[in-house]
């Protein structure tokens, strides 16, 4: 799984002011204390000037053309990895198609050289009040939907209110702090926020998709549909076959193609997502040329799978690319709503049966590192005992949280690498007995007297080489551990309704977390179907720290609050952390070119790449 929104939707600002030149066209004088800006940033800094021409990591002269074909590698909203039956990814019904977000523009959009900045897209600028509770987004007169109709503030207000009341739970929760959205005029969207708003609330609004009010007025937003929606983005839905593929066509009349935030991007004439239920089948399709861009996630393929004719001849290339983006959190998540997982000692004991050292060497070819933190490889990761700033946040909860929170943060012990470390299994047994479990011969009984059983739910057998040795160790402890592989639609339905014991997931990292963390760890989301709080974390202490993070006024303050949260979550033993890599493995048919400069916080692939007709001809494409 992946985060529910891109960072362009969850950034925040307060910042550089535009001069009178931007005030004149609207004709309304700035109110006392009101600020007008061309961009927003979490902590007041914008890297780009008001007159920037394009981002520094793109080729402004990149040609438009060619085909990009790939597989979906992350999901959001109601999307499914393996199939789709609706073109509306923003509601609860159905399984959403890949790539649909490319059909919709937002008020502002992000910049991959900055972790917390957005710049004007549909909105040419924004004015905000001194108390940061009122925002007026000034829309561009030229903004249009793909049918040529004007995109107005009425459409933006309609979209925000629709998502807030009828959208997928991930969107409704993100918009909770939006008090109201209304059109002050055709060109001005007025957004008001609750007095208790978090730091990022207005940037969440700035990144939401914009729908056509006229189009949806006669349609049911909450019903699954295969009718291509009217969009405002660079791409329109082309050919598709549910469950097999979907294509998007670059709109030659796209209204925003020459905006600075779009120059050098949206370079492919067609983008096609292919669906394969088995990951290996997808790799074979790539080798045959049915897919021309592939992010490799299978270690065995990376190590020995690229010895095929096209790769030997140089027609297919593969490379490891460093990404400046934070590492994600790959883990097995306990469903603490289940009785057998309510005691953290039980959860810790189960975690001790996972031998990362053996797994990394024998399954992952020593290519991974152990995830230990919810903010891995960032300044927000807790290390050593808490300092004075963290203690100031944690002390009010002393006695309500484990004492270990006030010492070194929990780190999974290093095993002997045998695959079945007897010392760790012995400790696991002691924890289980201390938690009230009992033994009946070779069977472990849970505190309620029933045989202890764990079902690992998944939608693919991709992780089985990792999961099966883990389960073997659990069985040595007397736990009936087994896997249930279901189709992706059922996996999605069961995880969204929290009908599982343990499920694997990977949540992407971010350098500037805010209100969206409540979707993953907040009490409100714990009981809300469809949220990303898989573990069911429901803790007043966690909620208080999430509030501190959401309202942090500086990077330093944010780092301390995140470290405090990291300590509490790690002490809760809500997961069995797995592994991560610092780089991204990319493979592609050699028909692409790319800019000389890579974004600081990403790989740029394939967003900044373009189809190179000369290269394509050389390899016969």
CA distance 506 to 327: 10
On whether residue 45 sits in a domain, the answer given is: no
Of 62, 134, 82, 84, which is closest to residue 242 (Cα–Cα)?
Answer: 84
On whether residue 334 sits in a domain, the answer given is: yes
On whether residue 39 sits in a domain, the answer given is: no
Query: Between the CA atoms of 422, 427, 430 and 431, what dihedral angle is there, to the nearest 10 degrees?
Result: -140
Residues 6 or more apart whose CB falls under 8 angstroms from that of 19 comprise none
On whether residue 74 sits in a domain, the answer given is: no
On whether residue 268 sits in a domain, the answer given is: no
Cα 114–Cα 115–Cα 121 angle in degrees, nearest 5: 65
Dihedrals phi, psi of 465, to nearest 5 degrees: -60, -25
Cα 597–Cα 599–Cα 602 angle in degrees, nearest 5: 135
**Which stretches within 78-123 are classed as H helix?**
none
Mean pLDDT per 10-residue interval, the chain, length 621 residues:
33 28 48 88 87 98 98 87 94 94 97 92 96 96 98 98 94 94 98 93 94 96 96 97 97 97 98 92 95 94 95 96 83 97 98 98 95 94 97 97 97 97 98 97 94 96 96 98 94 94 90 90 92 95 97 95 98 97 94 96 95 96 88
Query: If residue 555 lies in a helix (H) or strand (E), which one and from where to where?
Result: helix 555-572
On whether residue 58 sits in a domain, the answer given is: no
Residues 6 or more apart whose CB falls under 8 angstroms from that of 509 comprise 325, 326, 327, 328, 329, 375, 376, 377, 378
Beta-strand relationship, 67-70 and 270-274: parallel
On whether residue 292 sits in a domain, the answer given is: no
What is the token pair recorded at 211?
């729908």
Domain hosting residue 557, numbered range: 329-580
* Three-state DSSP class for residue 428: helix
DSSP structural state of residue 242: T
What's the sign of the alpha-carbon dihedral 566, 567, 569, 574?
A: positive
Tell me how many domains the chain contains: 1
Dihedrals phi, psi of 117, to nearest 5 degrees: -120, 145
Query: Between the CA atoms of 511, 516, 522 and 523, what dihedral angle is there, to the nearest 10 degrees?
Result: 180
What is the token pair recorded at 326?
């934070």
The terminus-to-terminus CA distance of the chain in angstroms comes to: 33
DSSP structural state of residue 511: S
Q: What is the pLDDT of residue 547?
A: 96
φ/ψ region of 232 (left if φ > 0, alpha if ψ in -120 to 50, else beta) reads alpha
Residue pair 221/88 in contact by the 8 Å Cβ criterion: yes
Return the CATH number at 377. 3.10.105.10
Q: 180 has which bridge partners?
A: 192
Beta-strand relationship, 443-445 and 438-440: antiparallel
Q: What is the pLDDT of residue 80?
A: 87
What is the token pair recorded at 66?
């060619």
């Amino acid at each position: 799984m992946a985060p529910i929104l891109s960072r362009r939707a969850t950034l925040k600002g307060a910042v550089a002011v535009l001069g009178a030149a931007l005030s004149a066209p609207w004709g309304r004088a700035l109110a006392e204390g009101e600020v007008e800006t061309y961009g927003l940033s979490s902590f007041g800094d914008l890297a780009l000037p008001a007159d920037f021409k394009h981002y520094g990591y793109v080729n402004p002269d990149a040609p438009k053309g060619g085909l990009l074909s790939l597989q979906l590698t992350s999901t959001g909203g109601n999307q499914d990895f393996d199939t789709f039956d609706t073109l509306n990814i923003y509601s609860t019904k159905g399984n959403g198609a890949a790539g649909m977000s490319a059909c919709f523009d937002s008020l502002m959009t992000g910049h991959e050289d900055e972790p917390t900045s957005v710049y004007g897209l549909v909105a040419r600028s924004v004015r905000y009040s001194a108390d940061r509770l009122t925002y007026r987004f000034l829309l561009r007169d030229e903004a249009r939907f793909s049918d040529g109709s004007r995109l107005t503030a009425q459409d933006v207000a309609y979209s925000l209110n629709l998502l807030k009341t009828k959208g997928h739970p991930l969107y409704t929760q993100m918009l909770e702090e939006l008090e109201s959205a209304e059109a002050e005029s055709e060109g001005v969207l007025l957004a008001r926020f609750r007095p208790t708003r978090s730091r990022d609330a207005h940037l969440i609004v700035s990144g939401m998709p914009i729908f056509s009010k006229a189009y949806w007025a006669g349609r049911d937003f909450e019903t699954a549909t295969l009718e291509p929606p009217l969009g405002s983005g660079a791409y329109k839905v082309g050919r598709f076959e549910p469950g097999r593929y979907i294509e998007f066509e670059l709109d030659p009349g796209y209204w925003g193609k020459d905006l600075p935030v779009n120059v050098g991007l949206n370079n492919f004439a067609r983008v096609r997502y292919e669906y394969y239920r088995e990951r290996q089948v997808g790799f074979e399709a790539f080798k045959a040329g049915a897919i021309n861009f592939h992010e490799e996630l299978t270690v065995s393929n990376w190590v020995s799978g690229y010895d095929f004719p096209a790769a030997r001849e140089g027609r297919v290339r593969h490379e490891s690319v460093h990404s400046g983006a934070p590492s994600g959190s790959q883990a097995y998540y306990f469903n603490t709503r289940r009785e057998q997982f309510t005691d953290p000692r039980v959860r810790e004991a189960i975690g001790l049966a996972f031998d990362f050292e053996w797994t990394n060497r024998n399954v992952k070819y020593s290519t991974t590192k152990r995830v230990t933190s919810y903010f891995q490889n960032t300044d927000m990761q807790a290390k050593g005992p808490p300092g004075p700033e963290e203690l100031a946040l944690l002390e009010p909860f002393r006695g309500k949280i484990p004492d270990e929170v006030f010492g070194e943060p929990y780190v999974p012990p290093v095993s002997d690498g045998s695959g079945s470390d007897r010392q760790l299994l012995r400790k696991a047994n002691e924890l289980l007995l201390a938690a009230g479990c009992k033994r009946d011969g070779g069977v472990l009984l849970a505190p309620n007297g029933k045989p202890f059983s764990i079902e690992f739910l998944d939608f693919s057998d991709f992780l089985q080489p990792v999961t099966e040795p883990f389960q073997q160790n659990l069985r040595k402890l007397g736990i009936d551990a087994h896997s249930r592989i279901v189709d992706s639609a059922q996996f999605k339905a069961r995880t969204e309704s929290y009908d599982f014991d343990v499920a694997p997931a990977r949540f992407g990292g971010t350098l500037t977390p805010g209100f969206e963390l409540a979707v993953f760890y907040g009490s409100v989301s714990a009981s809300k179907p469809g949220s990303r709080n898989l573990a069911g974390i429901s803790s007043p202490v966690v909620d208080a720290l999430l509030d501190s993070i959401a309202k942090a006024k500086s990077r330093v303050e944010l780092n301390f609050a995140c470290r405090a949260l990291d300590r509490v979550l790690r002490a809760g033993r809500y997961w069995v952390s797995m592994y991560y890599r610092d780089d991204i493995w990319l493979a592609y048919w050699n028909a692409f070119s790319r800019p000389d400069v890579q974004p600081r916080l990403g790989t740029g692939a394939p967003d900044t790449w373009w189809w190179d007709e000369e290269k394509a001809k050389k390899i016969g494409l």
